Structure 1
Amino acid sequence: MSDLPNKARVVIIGGGVIGCSVAYHLTKLGWQDVVLLERKQLTSGTTWHAAGLIGQLRASSNMTKLARYSAELYLGLEAETGVATGMRQVGSVSAALTHERLEELYRNAAMARAFGVPVEELSPKEVKERYEHINLDGVTGGVWLPTDGQADPANIALALAKGARQRGALVKERIKVAGIAKQGRRITGVDWVSDDGGAQGHIECDMVVNCAGMWGHEVGRMAGVNVPLHACEHFYIVTEGIEGLTQMPVLRVPDECAYYKEDAGKILLGAFEPNAKPWAMNGIPDSFEFDQLPEDFDHFEPILEAACNRMPMLAEAGIHTFFNGPESFTPDDAYHLGLAPEMDNFWVAAGFNSIGIQSAGGAGMALAQWMEDGQKPFDLGDVDISRMHPFQGNKHYLFERSKETLGLLYADHFPYRQKATARGVRRTPFHYHLKEQGAVFGEIGGWERANWFANAGQEREYQYSWKRQNWFENAAAEHRAVRENAGMYDMSSFGKIRVEGPDAEKFLNYICGANVSVPAGKIVYTQFLNPRGGIEADVTVTRLSETVYLVVTPAVTRLADQTWMMRNKGGFNVVLTDVTAGEGVLAVMGPNARKLLQRVSPNDFSNEVNPFGTAQEIELGMGLARVHRVTYVGELGWEIYIPAEMSGHAFETLWEAGQDMGLKLCGMHMMDSCRIEKGFRHFGHDITCEDNVIDAGLGFAVATGKDDFIGKAAVLERKETGPKARMVQFKLTDPEPLLFHNEPIIRDGKYVGYLSSGNYGHTLGAAIGMGYVPCEGESAADVLGSTYEIDVCGVKVKAEAALKPMYDPKSERVKA
């Protein structure tokens, strides 16, 4: 093993398709001293037995961009490397067996048009024309994606590895990483041992990339990094050769959990069953290499029985192979990519949830570019490893959640669908009070949050649909309470980061676009910007004292936002502390919010003493609290921060005081419908790291006159040139259709973009959407001078457009 170097620029751990792709793309960018270590043989983990389906359409624009890149890359790899990838664009048909599934497919088709993916909606008869062997019993329609394809997974990985080698990468098999050395927040090198135990050594390196697939969790632990994923058994069968069977499109019948792929005159039938079988709870055997797991025909039999009816030729064909192999799955069915929050030079590309082949090319390209530039090439929030919270690495949690996540790939992807497994992990101080009052909980980042409140006698559960769901009127009543009287809801899950030290003000002025040189008690709405002027975080900053600030972030991004602050701390003398669990937070919002607070506290809540954008310490009942006069729903109101131990008392005091004035408990669905009426942006949907703060319409929150801050030059440049796109608020003229997100925006008859978010505006009386309209060189008047439609499930619905909020554009209600 003397050819292994003592030093490298980067060590990639894992020789599956992902690791090979990262090596390929780093060398393509000109990187030298790239070393890839594979514990056994290339592809011997899960790559070798993948089905090799190459789908073009993913759940967001950027994920679709990466999938399309993969397909284009694989088409050209053979010419570059001489290794055949077997890539064929045979197209794919997805068939629906219910009207709900058909709406999902047709909404996906509309999304495909917005993302530039060729697509065609199919009637049942047209499904049969595209896939002659299907039995149409129960088929309601389908979708045809002509550029989808299939390929040879192992050969794709080997081609990528060869391409990397041709440009100087060292790819070594039968070398296991046995340990990872670190100093502070940096990896310094990796310890390796040969497969036969006869040699060992250490490679000093500048960076490590964890591409270890189902071993990714274990490799992460070596570095003190959380990589939540768990292996599950994944089944498929391959038939004997079927006479006369020629090249066919890929067929997906998600309502039967099945996909079908023709390969060399045989049919491969694979399954994503609703109740999966987690594997290797006590660790993956060290000898694992090209291994199969024991057959479980009883588990697969219901899938096969339905498939023989759907594809009658299967009933006549013999089974050549019954295969069971492991795949790794993450808690939210999105893969892990990016720089680990715990370390500053440990990267992750793992947990690909059975879509590793179609994702590998794009994921490798995106990660390599991120490593090269030191910042994301575009928004990767869907898959950024920093979205994962520490508890999600808990083995029991992963075991329970993975039973569900495999099946969710083919489950109905209803809006607002909640995970059913591994629930109840994180609860706010008000959880049982809310549960007593009829709360129906959703989960985000492990937090149980009241999404809506059931009426007496109403079932406390979601009944999913693409139409108005069973809670629609409940949320409407909560919405009206906030607009017309008073509503109270739990915001405890929102992240709270305490920033303190002699340099707190200087540090936050460098991190934030706004000026935080304000008196104690003042609240500043601001963004963390990147050097391109894109938005890394959307927060409020409250000055508590001369040396202490509180940064409040969205619940899911707390870790990412704190990590961004940590990585940009430089020489500033500050301490960052997550204090989220230390305080419960109740929001009291609505025209009568002041009246309620005056009932429970002797403090003064008038505009003179407590104007909008200020905080004050108060007495509440027999306890203490701090009130922040801010709002995310566009009404007069306060967020009340209460020490955790006094939170129960505060809730009971407020709830009792509000009984005779009609105080209503509200949930997160209300908050979202109110905020979209007011045109407030939702981080991760409306604003991301690739959306310039000027284009987002948030230039008012940036103090360009202050000393240097991250992104200042980019903001000044965009102010000079004018926005390249504008965030526009849309209201459908028909009150019936619903908007969620990704519906295409049609301007003067042409597709120009898609909605970044959508909800129903119960006060405005129709569905509301927000989305960017390209407008380089155009004025605001030009943008508003066009006619707009939104494509809802293939139907073009007229929409009114506005750049200012359609609800209370002057914020008179907020400042009342």
Structure 2
Amino acid sequence: MSDIPSKARVVIIGGGISGCSVAYHLAQLGWTDIVLLERKQLTSGTTWHAAGLIGQLRASQNMTRLAKYSADLYTRLEAETGLATGFRQCGSISVALSGERREELWRQASLARAFGVDVTELSPAEVLNLYPHLNIEGVTGGVHLPLDGQADPGNIALAMAKGARMKGARIIENVKVQAVTAKDGRVTGVDWVQGGEQGHIAADHVVNCGGMWGRELAGQNGVTLPLHACEHFYIVTENIPELAQLPVLRVPDECAYYKEDAGKILLGAFEPTAKPWGMNGISEDFCFDQLPEDFDHFEPILEKAVARMPILAEAGIHTFFNGPESFTPDDRYYLGEVPELGNYWVAAGYNSIGIVSSGGAGMALAQWMNDGEPPFDLWEVDIRRAHPFQRNRLYLKNRVTETLGLLYADHFPYRQPATARGIRRSPVHEQVKAQGAVFGETAGWERANWYANEGQEREYRYSWKRQNWFENQRAEHLALREGVGLIDMSSFGKIRVEGRDALAYLNHLCAGEMDVPVGRITYSQMLNARGGIESDLTVTRLGETSFLLVVPAATLQRDLAWLRRHIGESAVSVIDMGGNEAVFSLMGPKSREVLSRVSPNDFSNDAHPFGWAREIEIGMGLARAHRVTYVGELGWELYVSADQAAHVFETLIEAAPQLKLCGIHAMDSCRIEKAYRHFGHDITDEDHVLEAGLGFAVRTAKPDFMGREAVLRKREAGLARRLMQFRLTDPEPLLFHNEPILRDGKIVGQLSSGNYGHALGGAIGLGYVPCTAPGESPDEMLASSYQIEVAGQIFAAEASLTPLYDPSGARIKA
């Protein structure tokens, strides 16, 4: 066809709001030869029937930054393109019907203040004043965000499409992409079909914005894009006389949202158990289609809504709508370059918040494609967090029945998914289960988060206060501090790097020194060119040309992708060894005593100093003992082949009655007392290694490693901020993350992580504090007074730049 080019710099697949946003923002950056292909008509998948709610407050600073960008963009698109977006800042109100929900809303209000979002907490009477049609029976409070709003999703997408065309992009409808072509690990273009004709566009980049079609398209290339469509319901009333403009209203405890539009009310639902759709594929001719009505499914929501909003009882239903939307296993969308194929990009899986997300997501992805790195930390939505097993359709179908409803469920700390569980298990899963383990899930792994006592229920009772496992965590925490505990850490990501060039390759990627004796363990970071932290890991030299890298379970795919991306011409192999070995973390001042009971090896400091690994005997088996710690005590991580894991585990349990099994929650509360960093919270690719307080792990004497120049520049210029540790002096409040930090009475940041310090007697948090001037000294920073805001209350905090627990590290090397 004459209007379909044979070559392009980038082909964008999908003409919903996401694809239009990527095209618009690449064009704004000066890209030419942009081609967007839409299988039917623009907006015809999900965009056309979206509710169009624009809520600027998201769960983190950068996600809020993207949402605020979207709102700002939608206010100026009309002037730029001449197409109205229908965006108006009518504000939004969220109301609570319980004390727990009010605590959540109050915490969100604190977060909003830290992010510079205008917010006001409301009493029930104040809620009624702003929304006079609401029945406030049972309402315990609310929050008002006056700059939130609503918009016309279809017109936004069309406006961005026009803006892209004005800069030279080609947007072509009724062309289906049949396949993404690739060679030598990189995309080469797309094959297309239009009517009875077929063709190929050669391209340097391909962006999958295929929405609910995206998973199957990605799967053709072995790319993991875990999303699944669900039915999403709303009704629109008949015209209600004299209905004034109203804020968007959310009543999450009743799974409902309300939007006034042109004298009508739109009532939408995020029901607790959703209806997956499209399990067996989506019809070729699906275009602006609706799904069959299911009034029985929607009726419980409507019944509560009529009681909550009595004017609905008098209003007829004009439209009962049911349409598909894509949901992901963790309710976060996917953005970025996939790990399996170079220059294959994704922007999909928006979980019913695509309108507020797509403006910012398109901007961020365009900058990422242009610069070769994300503009700021996007780990929350990074496609590299997806794991290959999540391609399984039955897994996705089961999980998304839950994730749709979780959008409006209480967002309690430590909440665990209830569906699609038990997929990845430690070799001693059944043994720890028999000992009372209560499991959580990370990257599909079942991990013992805490251990129930005999007769105690083995499940979570969620709360914003002390949950039902708080005392269990305390007992496990103190066992690690005072006695000996064992944590099953078999979920660790384990990567072998082998080959003639392994040493040079790792010395280039890691900031620490890799040229160490066989058996030496090095704690290090892999940095980007800005000095930001791409990976936080330990590297153990197993042989002259063989190394073991240990990373968090959640970041394994990200770390593998980073390593493989930088192989170049090096003669190395990067191998995922994750399921081959179990890992038992034996920690505490009595850990040496326990090991001596089950092994003939010498565990003295002279025979096995800190930071070394060697093979040992345990019972009748063999293990590799790594003397390292993430809890801040004397201890060893025992790496055992999967076939011997049960024997070694049973040997340890039987030989040491004083040994206490401990969970991930206790490990986390210990690590935060010791101010150990957590990747994804305390350290990200946006956080400079020196400002994160990890300069001790960097060896600038090495002549060439990624990020070296950025480290030297930062040392010369001085730090702009520092990661600090805080302890609340009041022992009652709890910290989780994102609580605002006040320095001398003014909000200067928010906590990156938090937990309770059972040995320190109060809640502990980590968070970055800006320096008043570059290079401000530690003493000057500590001379200020610090407070932490928790759900609107201000609490005094002790601040430190060194670990509050065992600052000298004497216990580790005991």
Corresponding residue for 1:116?
Answer: 116
Distance 1:344 1:149 in 2: 38
TM-fit CA distance, 1:320: 0.2
- Please, which of 750, 753, 757 is the counterpart of residue 757 of structure 1? 753
Structure 2 equivalent of residue 73 of structure 1: 73
1:24 equivalent to 2:24? Answer yes
Letter in 1 for 2:288: F
Among candidates 718, 721, 725, match of residue 714 of structure 2: 718
For residue 493 of structure 1, what is the amino acid of its counterpart? S
Please give the residue correspondences for 1:415-814 in structure 2 after superposition, counting only pairs within 5 Å: 415-659=413-657, 662-775=658-771, 776-777=773-774, 778-814=776-812
**What is the TM-score of this pair, normalised by structure 1?**
0.99
The one-letter code sitting in structure 1 at the alignment partner of 2:670 is C
Aligned partner of 1:374 in structure 2 is 372
The one-character-per-residue Cα deviations of 1:454-473 (angstroms, maximum 9, x if unpaired) are 00000000000000000000
Which residue identity does 1:738 align to in structure 2?
A: L
Mapped to 2, the partners of 1:284 and 1:740 lie a distance apart of 41
Provide the alpha-carbon RMSD of the alignment: 0.5
Match of residue 98 from structure 2? 98
Q: Deviations over 1:95-142 (max 9, x none)?
A: 000000000000000000011100000000010011111000100000
How far apart are the structure 2 equivalents of 1:563 and 1:226?
Answer: 13
2-side partners of 1:376 and 1:86: how far apart?
30
1:323 aligned residue (318, 321, 324): 321
Structure 1 CA distance for aligned equivalents of residues 370 and 179 of structure 2 = 25
Give the 3-state SS of the residue equivalent to 1:549 in structure 2.
strand
Alignment correspondent of 1:400: 398
Rounded Cα–Cα distance in structure 2 between residues aligned with 1:246 and 1:79: 27
Q: SS at 2:446's partner residue?
A: strand
Return the offset for 1:223.
2.5
The answer on whether the counterparts of 1:47 and 1:153 sit within 8 Å (CA) in structure 2 is yes
Q: Would the aligned equivalents of 1:503 and 1:572 in 2 still touch at CA under 8 Å?
A: yes
Opposite residue 610 of structure 2, the aligned amino acid is: F
Corresponding residue SS for 1:382 = helix
User: Could you tell me how far apart the structure 2 residues matched to 1:315 and 1:609 are?
Assistant: 79
Give CA deviations for 1:616-674 in whole Å, capped at 9, x if unaligned.
Answer: 10111001100000000000000000010000000000011111xx1100000000000
Specify every segment of 5 or more residues in structure 2 that has no aligned partner in the other structure, as ranges.
none
Letter in 1 for 2:786: Y
Could you tell me which amino acid in structure 1 is paired with residue 573 of structure 2?
V
Task: Specify the code of the residue in structure 2 equivalent to 1:157.
Answer: A
What do the CA deviations read for 1:520-554 (whole angstroms, capped 9, x no partner)? Answer: 00000000100000000100000001010000000
Asked if 2 retains the 8 angstrom alpha-carbon contact of 1:187 and 1:223, the reply is: no
CA deviation after TM superposition for structure 1 residue 222, in Å = 2.4
SS class of match (2:593): helix
- Aligned residue for 1:580, secondary structure, equals coil
Q: Distance in 1 between matches of 2:180 and 2:716?
A: 48
Take 1:568 and 1:641, find their aligned partners in 2: how far apart are those partners? Answer: 28
CA deviation after TM superposition for structure 1 residue 247, in Å: 0.8
TM-score where L is the length of structure 2: 0.99
Cα distance in 2 for residues equivalent to 1:22 and 1:57: 22
Amino acid aligned to 1:117: V
Alignment of 1:134-533 (within 5 A): 134-194=134-194, 197-533=195-531
Deviation at 1:723, TM superposition (A): 1.1
1:765 shift after superposition = 0.2
Kindly state the Cα deviation for residue 184 of structure 1 after the two structures are TM-superposed: 2.5
What amino acid sits opposite 2:722 in the alignment?
A: R
Cα distance in 2 between the residues matched to 1:109 and 1:219 = 40
SS in 1 for 2:340: coil
AA matched with 1:290: F
SS of 2:276's equivalent in the other structure is coil
8 Å CA contact 1:529, 1:710 repeated in 2: yes
Q: CA deviation at 1:179?
A: 1.4
Superposition deviation, residue 425 in structure 1: 0.2
Q: CA deviation at 1:2?
A: 1.0
* Counterparts of 2:630 and 2:718, CA distance in 1: 27
Q: What do residues 683-737 of structure 1 show as CA deviations (whole Å, max 9, x unaligned)?
A: 0000000000000000010000102111110011011112111000000010000
Cα distance between partner residues in 1 of 2:180 and 2:72: 36
Report if aligned partners of 1:96, 1:254 keep a CA contact under 8 Å in 2.
yes
The C-alpha deviation readout for 1:377-402, integer Å capped at 9, x for no partner, is 10000000000000011000000001
Count of residue correspondences: 812
Secondary structure, counterpart of 1:690 in structure 2: coil
Query: For 2:502 and 2:151, how far apart are their aligned partners in 1?
Result: 54
> How far did 1:198 drift?
2.4
Q: For the residues of structure 1 that align with 2:175 and 2:219, how far apart are their CA atoms? A: 19
- What letter corresponds to residue 611 of structure 1 in structure 2? P
Aligned equivalents of 1:180, 1:728: Cα separation in 2: 47
Distance in 1 between residues matched to 2:391 and 2:351, nearest whole Å: 16
AA at the equivalent of 2:744: D
* Letter in structure 2 aligned against 1:119: V
**Counterpart code for 2:810:** E
Deviation string 1:393-451 (CA, Å, 9 cap, x unpaired) is 10000000010000000000000000000000000111001000000000011000000
Q: Which moved more, 1:485-494 or 1:770-779?
A: 770-779
What is the rounded CA distance, in whole Å, between the counterparts of 1:378 and 1:114 in structure 2?
Answer: 18
Shift of 1:572: 1.2
Q: Aligned partner of 1:707: which letter?
A: P
Q: Which residue in the other structure is 1:44 paired with?
A: 44
Query: What one-letter code is carried by the residue in structure 2 that aligns with 1:345?
Result: N
Structure 1 residue runs of 4+, over 3 Å off? none
Instruction: Supply the distance in 2 between the matched residues of 1:155 and 1:479 (Cα, whole angstroms).
Output: 55
Please give the alpha-carbon distance, in whole angstroms, between the structure 1 residues aligned to 2:754 and 2:185: 40
* SS, match of residue 251 in structure 1: strand
2-structure distance, mates of 1:530, 1:583? 30
SS at match of 1:544: strand
Matching residue's letter, 1:534: G
Aligned partner of residue 556 in structure 1, secondary structure: helix
What per-residue deviation string (whole Å, max 9, x for no partner) do you get for residues 227-253 of structure 1? 000000000000000001011000000
Deviations along 1:349-383, one digit per CA (max 9) or x if unpaired, are: 00000000000100000000000000111000000
Q: Secondary structure at the match of 2:277?
A: coil
CA offsets per residue over residues 283-310 of structure 1, 9 Å max, x none?
0111100000000000000000000000
> CA separation in 2, counterparts of 1:682 and 1:780?
22
Q: Is the 8 A contact 1:515 1:706 kept in 2?
A: yes
CA distance in 2, matches of 1:272, 1:201: 42
Conservation of the 8 A alpha-carbon contact between 1:209 and 1:346: yes
Identity across the alignment (%)? 69
SS of the equivalent of 2:724 reads strand
What one-letter code is carried by the residue in structure 2 that aligns with 1:129?
N
Q: Deviations over 1:158-180 (max 9, x none)?
A: 00000000000000000000112
